[in-house]
Amino acid sequence: MQLTSTLPAAAAAPWYKHRWPWLLMLGPALVVVAAIITGWLAITRQDAMVVDDYYKRGKAINHDLRRDRAAGALRLSFTAHHDAAAGLLRGELSSFGRPLSVPFRISLAHATQVEKDIVLEVVPDALGRFAVALPALERARYQMLVEGNERTWRLVAPWRLPAQQTVSVVADAEPAK
């Protein structure tokens, strides 16, 4: 009695000529590539979110809340428009609906990269209007902080460029305690 093989000719081919082993190896291979890229990013990028003294930062939060309440007590309102063609940020600052002509500071904090943060020193005219040079900004989300030079009050607002050319902030009359 003689046995004959009924296997098709394709089964006799070496493993690397079949597609299924390659398809099964594709998943683990992609995971290895992703792990290498993630490791490279973790080693080459600095973590800007870590602070040295959490206790001092926690105490600073209370100070910031006092600054918010001070802005609310002054009924501050701020409006700014970015004119990209002219490279200017124009706007006005008012208190109780009247122009406020005291010098102040505008800080633009980039959402993810500290080295792209910008600080602008502003001196408004008698009508509370200002125009300050603002370098070309990339498409990003910024946190805008408007504060007095003596840091007694502050206004904070998110700002998305270029979708949002104008930003307005009005201090709450009764900020959270």
User: What is the tens place of the pLDDT at every residue in 12-33?
Assistant: 789 889 999 999 999 999 999 9
Closest CA to 163 of 140, 136, 133, 144: 140
Neighbours of 19 (CB within 10 A): 7
Rounded to an integer, the average pLDDT of 89-96 is 91
Q: Tell me: the pLDDT tens digits for 101-154?
A: 899 999 998 888 888 889 999 999 988 899 999 877 888 889 999 998 888 888
Q: How confident is the model at residue 175 (pLDDT cuts 50, 70, 90)?
A: very low
Q: Which two tokens stand for residue 44?
A: 């080459």
Question: Angle at Cα 73 formed by Cα 148 and Cα 82, nearest 5°?
Answer: 45
DSSP state, 17?
G
**Residue 128 has what pLDDT?**
85
**Residue 45 has what pLDDT?**
85
Q: CA-to-CA distance for 133 and 144, rounded, in angstroms? A: 16
pLDDT at 96 over 80: yes
Q: Is the whole model's pTM more than 0.85, yes or no?
A: no
- Taking all residues of the chain, what is their mean pLDDT, rounded to a whole number? 84
Q: CA-to-CA distance for 128 and 103, rounded, in angstroms? A: 10
Q: CA-to-CA distance for 144 and 30, rounded, in angstroms? A: 40
**Residue 150 has what pLDDT?**
82
- Out of 60-64, 94-98, 119-123, pick the least confident: 60-64
**Residue 116 has what pLDDT?**
87
